[in-house]
Structure 1
Amino acid sequence: MQLSSPPATAAGGAPAADPVNAQDRQTQAGEPQGDIVPEAEFDTSLPPLSGDINAPLEAMPAATPDTSAPTTRVTSPAQNGAAPAQPGATTGEAIADAPLPEETELAQPLPPIATFDANPVEVAGVDDERAVQIRYKVAVNGLDEIDTLDRFGSLSSLKKGDGKAANAAMISARAKEDEQLAVRILQAEGYYDGTAISTIEKAEGGNVRVTINATPGRQYKFASIKVDAQPTTPPNLVDKELPLKVGEPIIAERVQAAEANVSLKLPQQGYPFVKVGDRDILLDEQAVTGDYTLPVDTGPRSSFGGYTTDGKLAFDAEHVGVLARFDRGELFDTRKVDDLRDALVATGLFSSVSVEPTRTGQIAADGTEIVDLAVHQNAGPARTLAAEAGYGTGQGFRLSGSWTHRNLFKPEGALIITGVGGTQEQGLGATFRRQNAGQRDRTVSLTANANHTNYDAYEAFTATLAGKISYDSTPIWQKRFTYSYGFELVGTNEDVWNFEKNERDRGTYFIAALPVFGGFDTSDDLLNPTKGFRLKLNASPETSVRGNVKPYGRFMVEGTAYYPVSSSIVLAGRARAGSIVGVDRDDLAPSRRYYAGGGGSVRGFGYQELGPRDPDGDPIGGRSLNEFAIEARYRFGNFGIVPFLDAGQVYESSTPDASDLRFGAGIGGRFYTNFGPLRVDVATPLKRREGESKVALYISIGQAF
């Protein structure tokens, strides 16, 4: 069916002149042009006009075929009513009376979508999973001259494609991306006139070779550096903290790092609200230089004020002040704010916590604006359950667990219930502990427990009440100086070898002690140190009552050192010496004597196995000891191998010496986790004696020392 639009008619039914095609219809007299229909015949072929000229065109269905007239008509409604029909013309029917067949089909409702088959058509002999691939190789020229080839390779689309593409268009698109990448890298290095172009050509074997040719051009340098900022105290503070110099190349990384340094250092020197604006670099193509301008809004010079807190509170603003290491009126330093945030996290009481400086508008006497710290708290679960298991030859299996409510007595007052179950030790205890008690990092604790221990050296039923004030390291907050002091009240019933009766008997001892500890730690990690050293000193003046009062002193000194031979090997060493003075060994409760042997002492021997023995062959402890150990810790990935050699001995005298040292050698395995290494050590005594362990096994968390 052919649709055509006839020309409009003028008054009287004659066709009006077509303003567009009138010139084309002009002919010379008696010379018709091409296939133009004679005017009289053209007029007789037109249908009459009727209807509204503004109505849309509508198609009329085909009538019975007639060789004297067209089979399909398109009528154009006349303007201002119906026009009379032309003589001899076929009159058309009203268009809307009979719609086209296509319109009838369109009026029908759509078939349900469920009737369509969405499964892909399978074509026999075609494997969709084995798509056709074009292999290509990439060559880059020019970037090696400015030492940026590795950076390009890490970001290149062609390189990421691994030398394969589905079609040539994909290779071309990747090459265009790499052109732009090369130009960006050049500009980042100060080569603002640099260009890059890619070429793709067929190589031998049907493969494709893609070449990126980069032309660096000239490197631009700073002609001037200007900072647009308010006056600061001290003067020109921003200029001092912007490490850019005239004559240096304009390298993007250095510029960004310099601006970041301004954002970092000014809040450390009293400007917490500094804002670094958008830089402007005006390039001079003739001189190959750039004029750099940086706008900086320093904000007010500020000092510390008070604290506010909101959210789900673990404790109030007053206790926040206990954790802070700065005073009101002190010049603002964002490092001290970060330190406060770390201290809040270290309490373990928050699921999230943040510290934000807020302006008050108040001006201090020194001219600084007072800034308060807003602490946004979201207290987390305060209760935890914990468990620990270990095994040692001579000590057997040991399983301990604890339930802790870390904030039962606010602020930071914890109640801890502990239990120990093992083959040779059982017990139950309760501890009250307040962290950050009155000052940062100070802990006050009070403990009461009851234990039963059954070792080869002694069996004891012991009740203890102890109090301590300490300044300790934790896995989150390792400290260089640590200390503790406190008291112990012990009542214990123990069996002991009675040399006068030449048999074992039981005795009850009452012990009062004032233990003191001091430590100095330069190591880099609490559970897995790789460098530095540690010194520890314990002193405890005590008195023991078993019929008579026997005052004495217990002392222990220990040093450890760590030296990294390489990135994967660390040499570690330990030395320890202890002495008890002022009392005979037989007047000491067996549990207060010194023993050696075991996983934390001299490996290769059972727990408390070294030293003097009774006639039954059981250890009886002594008044002094010395121990030495050396390890070579080799780590590969999350695993490690540790060969070691230990030595030590326990002496009946109050002064240790180097006589009769016993040695144990072995090898250990380490599995490194995010909370410390899991340790498995196997050792054997050298020059083993009768009754000593052949092989000793130790399993625990953390290094041996």
Structure 2
Amino acid sequence: MKKSEISRECSGRRSSRIRRSLIGATSFLCLAWAGAASAQQVEPPKVVPTVAVSETIAAPSPPPPDVQMPEVEPIISDEEFEKAIPSISAEDDAELDRPLESIADFEKRQAAEAAKDVETTADATVETRPPQVDGVSIPALADGDTVEAIGDAPISDSELAAPLPPLESFNVEPVQFAEAEVDKDNVSIAYTVKVNGLEAADESTDVDLADLFGDLSALYGGDGKADNAAMIRARLSADGELMQRVLASEGYYDAVVDTRIDRGEREEGQEAQERQARQRRSITAVIDVKPGKRYTLADIIINAAPTIPPTLIADNFPLAVGEPIVAQRVQGAEAAIALKLPQEGYPFAKVGQRDILLDGATGDGVYTLPVDIGKRSRFGGIETTGDLAFDADHVEVLARFKRGDLYDSRMVDDLRQALVATGLFSSVAAEPQATGESAGDDTEYVTMLVTQQAGPPRTLAASAGYSTGEGIRLEGSWTHRNLFPPEGALTFRGVLGTQEQGIGATLRRSNWGRRDRTLELVTEVTRSNYDAFNAITGRIGARFSYDSTPIWQKKFTYAYGAELIATREDDYDFTTGERSYDFYTILGLSGQVGMDRTDSLLNPTKGFRITSLIQPEGSLAGRFSPYARLRTDVSGYYPVTDSIVLAGRVRVGSILGAARERLAPSRRFYAGGGGSVRGFGYQDLGPKDPNNDPIGGRSVAEAAFETRYRFGNFGVVGFVDAGQVYRSSAPTFQNLRFGAGIGARYYTNFGPMRFDIATPIGRKPGEARVSVYVSIGQAF
């Protein structure tokens, strides 16, 4: 084929035969010709690209006739071109000379051929038709089969076409593994924590930064174990931020903290491989610290109005120029100002938001604090609102301040505590309210607003105890704490024990007429059955007291009152040699004073207490026979360490003015038991009758020493007690009896539970080898 013929084919021939049989050759020839033609204008490309030819081949446009084309050698010679052209048979040549069919005829012929192919496929059998998926035929396998057998059993088409069984009947057999599955609950990753570079900051601070970081660290809190590596990374990220905050709190604001995870090398050996199968490789969480410079205070600026006295803020602000900027110190200084100003007459003082300007070049910080001191004030009236337990007049009784006194927040706190100590509120608050009323001296009055929320007024209480000699003792009570407002409580009490039974009622008016003064009216009937005496006793009495409470412990206490006792008791008559009953009517007065310098009312650990009691009494049977009962108790407490306390107690008592035989047995002195000399039975020491029953005496001397060791909510106590009762009116301190033992304590929020076991030293015939005491509270 000549080049002119090729050009004709590229520009005009469009038969389907050309498109299907000669498309490759024609495209190549057309591109080759185009490249040869364009080569006369531009430099021919080194590589001729091969492109896909569309159904319609466009002929290249010839160059203009007036253009002078340079002579360019052909890319290939005519001989090479002729050899590359495939030969065309006579049939092909006739096909090429046939006129082109129209597009419509071409499309009809294609549709007819496609329909014929569909009919041929439909007539084919199932065995000969290849399987299809979504209309796509699956090619045959290498061995000619179109379906591969699973295992040794081929699957027939009928099985594949069968419907699936119901889901309920589908039984899943667990897969059996060749090796046992690892229990995922036991899978964990072991890691260690390493902190580098913190020593430099530790040396210049007053706190141990490593300990502070360790107490708050998530990595240390995980005890070196994590479920996966992601958990370790999360803990490490959190600890990196924590380290940044810890350093900033000590003035290292430019600290750089980097974190990374180091993976250790795998260990060798069978044991190591087994351990790694459970824990993988060891991981080290590393925190690298560069503290940088520590910033210090270069200037302190307090923006506040003038105070009275003028140096009130400066004298109570503990920060100083030149010291490091420590967050705890800064916050403490601001809290000191917020606390001191209300104590000195500024109830509405407010500390604003601090500002610290840091100079990175010098490490200096300028501290600025705005303070709004508010109006200087004095106490005015008292108002109350809410669900009232009592009115404002009774609140004034509880307050330790008067109208016109300079405002002091400590007095407000004291009032709040006194309100809580009444036990009548579920919640109570006392807050100052500005009135704008001038109080002179550039001050104004404030009203104390007491918001009350009365609590449940009724209380049921019970207690139980046991001791050798006294047996079991159960006590219960019902109290309405505000039956007669304000603070008028009525209590019914009952005692049920193996050796004592009784009932009684008490009317108690707390804060009667003045703060902390209490009035009690008591009536009771008891039955006692002790070795020393049997008695049925009725008593009525009145008592005024100034006592401590669990919330408000007082340094000085006192009490005074009167009582009338009518009792029928038995006593051993040495003239007749037998016990006989007698009736006693006793009128008595009582007075008590106390000093308390301990740190706790229920569980003291240091300090001392002194209590003295005097009871002038007289028998109304026949002629009046006066006498006086005197008793003094002293106890002291010394802390050896935070967990060891030494405690001691001494008691001395005396009855003056009457012989023992003229005293009712219940009014004599006795010793022995859990609150007296442990190791002996209740009232077991002292003079005895021929039946070896105690008959009491006119004087008593007791002493006790304890070593108390506490660990957490538990404690152990070792103790030695001593004591004796004497016939004389003054103790002689001779023939003292000793008991020793050990006790256990369980500390609760209302006091310790006590369990003591003791034995007498130098035990005599008839005395118990071991005595047990169970009760609430320390022995003294």
What band does the TM-score fall into relative to the shorter chain?
0.7 to 0.9
Aligned to 1:139: 194
Report the CA distance between 1:65 and its aligned residue: 12
Deviating more after overlay: 560-569 vs 647-656: 560-569
Letter in structure 1 aligned against 2:303: D
Aligned to 2:184: 129
Aligned to 1:280: 355
Aligned pairs (5 A) from 1:393-432: 393-432=468-507
Cα distance in 2 between the residues matched to 1:656 and 1:574: 17
Q: For residues 368 and 510 of structure 1, do their structure 2 counterparts lie closer, same or farther at Cα, with a shift above 3 Å needed?
A: same
Aligned pairs (5 A) from 1:39-58: none
2:155 pairs with 1:155: no
Q: For residues 282 and 122 of structure 1, do their structure 2 counterparts lie closer, same or farther at Cα, with a shift above 3 Å needed?
A: farther
Letter in structure 2 aligned against 1:408: L
2:729 pairs with 1:654: yes
2:311 pairs with 1:256: no
Contact 1:421 1:427 in 2 (8 A): yes
Aligned to 2:463: 388
Report the CA distance between 1:165 and its aligned residue: 4.7
Cα distance in 1 between the residues matched to 2:726 and 2:398: 46
Give the alignment partner of residue 502 of structure 1, picking from 569, 577, 593: 577
2:257 pairs with 1:196: yes
Report the CA distance between 1:172 and its aligned residue: 4.2
1:41-76 deviation digits (Å, cap 9, x = unpaired): 99xxxxxxxxxxxxxxxxxxxxx99979xxxxxxxx
Contact 1:136 1:209 in 2 (8 A): yes
Q: For residues 411 and 212 of structure 1, do their structure 2 counterparts lie closer, same or farther at Cα, with a shift above 3 Å needed?
A: same
Cα distance in 2 between the residues matched to 1:479 and 1:432: 23
Report the CA distance between 1:702 and its aligned residue: 0.8
Give the alignment partner of residue 686 of structure 1, picking from 761, 766, 769: 761
Give the alignment partner of residue 306 of structure 2, picking from 228, 231, 234: 231
2:637 pairs with 1:586: no
Cα distance in 2 between the residues matched to 1:540 and 1:684: 33
Aligned to 2:626: 551
Cα distance in 1 between the residues matched to 2:459 and 2:239: 54
Give the alignment partner of residue 706 of structure 2, picking from 631, 647, 672: 631
Letter in structure 1 aligned against 2:577: N
Cα distance in 2 between the residues matched to 1:180 and 1:444: 62
SS in 2 for 1:319: helix
TM-score between both structures, scaled by the size of structure 1: 0.81
Q: For residues 574 and 135 of structure 1, do their structure 2 counterparts lie closer, same or farther at Cα, with a shift above 3 Å needed?
A: closer
Report the CA distance between 1:514 and its aligned residue: 0.8
Q: For residues 586 and 242 of structure 1, do their structure 2 counterparts lie closer, same or farther at Cα, with a shift above 3 Å needed?
A: same
SS in 2 for 1:500: coil
Deviating more after overlay: 520-529 vs 553-562: 520-529
Q: For residues 179 and 591 of structure 1, do their structure 2 counterparts lie closer, same or farther at Cα, with a shift above 3 Å needed?
A: closer
Report the CA distance between 1:540 and its aligned residue: 1.0
Q: For residues 591 and 133 of structure 1, do their structure 2 counterparts lie closer, same or farther at Cα, with a shift above 3 Å needed?
A: closer
Contact 1:426 1:451 in 2 (8 A): yes
SS in 1 for 2:502: strand
Cα distance in 2 between the residues matched to 1:224 and 1:121: 79
Letter in structure 1 aligned against 2:477: S
Give the alignment partner of residue 401 of structure 2, picking from 326, 342, 347: 326
Cα distance in 2 between the residues matched to 1:424 and 1:405: 29
Report the CA distance between 1:131 and its aligned residue: 8.2
Percent identity of the aligned residues?
57
Aligned to 2:75: none
Q: For residues 210 and 426 of structure 1, do their structure 2 counterparts lie closer, same or farther at Cα, with a shift above 3 Å needed?
A: closer
Give the alignment partner of residue 313 of structure 1, picking from 388, 397, 410: 388
Give the alignment partner of residue 562 of structure 1, picking from 628, 637, 645: 637
Aligned to 1:666: 741
SS in 2 for 1:253: helix
2:635 pairs with 1:574: no
Q: For residues 136 and 492 of structure 1, do their structure 2 counterparts lie closer, same or farther at Cα, with a shift above 3 Å needed?
A: closer
1:496-519 deviation digits (Å, cap 9, x = unpaired): 222333332221111111100011
Cα distance in 2 between the residues matched to 1:372 and 1:156: 48
Cα distance in 2 between the residues matched to 1:201 and 1:487: 83
Aligned pairs (5 A) from 1:366-515: 366-515=441-590
Aligned pairs (5 A) from 1:341-356: 341-356=416-431
Letter in structure 2 aligned against 1:217: G
Give the alignment partner of residue 366 of structure 2, picking from 282, 287, 291: 291
1:244-300 deviation digits (Å, cap 9, x = unpaired): 111111111211111111111111111121111111111122222011111111111
Cα distance in 2 between the residues matched to 1:567 and 1:505: 55
Q: For residues 300 and 637 of structure 1, do their structure 2 counterparts lie closer, same or farther at Cα, with a shift above 3 Å needed?
A: same
1:88-131 deviation digits (Å, cap 9, x = unpaired): xxxxxxxxxxxxxxxxxxxxxxxxxxx99xxx999876668348
Deviating more after overlay: 354-363 vs 629-638: 629-638
Contact 1:131 1:166 in 2 (8 A): no
1:198-234 deviation digits (Å, cap 9, x = unpaired): 2333322233333222111111111110001111111
Q: For residues 581 and 368 of structure 1, do their structure 2 counterparts lie closer, same or farther at Cα, with a shift above 3 Å needed?
A: same
Contact 1:322 1:439 in 2 (8 A): yes
Q: For residues 122 and 551 of structure 1, do their structure 2 counterparts lie closer, same or farther at Cα, with a shift above 3 Å needed?
A: same
2:379 pairs with 1:304: yes
SS in 2 for 1:595: coil
SS in 2 for 1:515: strand
1:652-694 deviation digits (Å, cap 9, x = unpaired): 1111111221222222222222211111222222222333333
Cα distance in 2 between the residues matched to 1:195 and 1:185: 12
Cα distance in 1 between the residues matched to 2:628 and 2:460: 38
Letter in structure 2 aligned against 1:136: Y
Cα distance in 2 between the residues matched to 1:685 and 1:131: 57
Cα distance in 1 between the residues matched to 2:609 and 2:582: 38
| Aligned residues between the structures | 610
Aligned to 2:672: 597
Q: For residues 376 and 38 of structure 1, do their structure 2 counterparts lie closer, same or farther at Cα, with a shift above 3 Å needed?
A: same
Deviating more after overlay: 519-528 vs 579-588: 519-528
Cα distance in 2 between the residues matched to 1:255 and 1:67: 93
Report the CA distance between 1:633 and its aligned residue: 1.6
Q: For residues 491 and 281 of structure 1, do their structure 2 counterparts lie closer, same or farther at Cα, with a shift above 3 Å needed?
A: same
Aligned to 1:675: 750
TM-score between both structures, scaled by the size of structure 2: 0.74
Aligned pairs (5 A) from 1:86-235: 129-130=184-185, 133-147=188-202, 148-165=209-226, 168-205=229-266, 206-235=281-310
SS in 2 for 1:407: coil
Higher helix share: 2
Aligned to 1:76: none
Contact 1:679 1:701 in 2 (8 A): yes
Contact 1:357 1:372 in 2 (8 A): yes
Cα distance in 1 between the residues matched to 2:562 and 2:191: 78
1:327-366 deviation digits (Å, cap 9, x = unpaired): 1111111111111111111111111111122111112022
Cα distance in 2 between the residues matched to 1:585 and 1:523: 37
Cα distance in 1 between the residues matched to 2:256 and 2:237: 13
Cα distance in 1 between the residues matched to 2:444 and 2:337: 20
Cα distance in 1 between the residues matched to 2:697 and 2:108: 130
Report the CA distance between 1:182 and its aligned residue: 2.6
Q: For residues 197 and 578 of structure 1, do their structure 2 counterparts lie closer, same or farther at Cα, with a shift above 3 Å needed?
A: same
Q: For residues 467 and 172 of structure 1, do their structure 2 counterparts lie closer, same or farther at Cα, with a shift above 3 Å needed?
A: closer
Letter in structure 2 aligned against 1:296: V
Q: For residues 409 and 287 of structure 1, do their structure 2 counterparts lie closer, same or farther at Cα, with a shift above 3 Å needed?
A: same
Q: CA RMSD in A?
A: 2.8
Letter in structure 1 aligned against 2:727: E
Report the CA distance between 1:567 and its aligned residue: 2.2
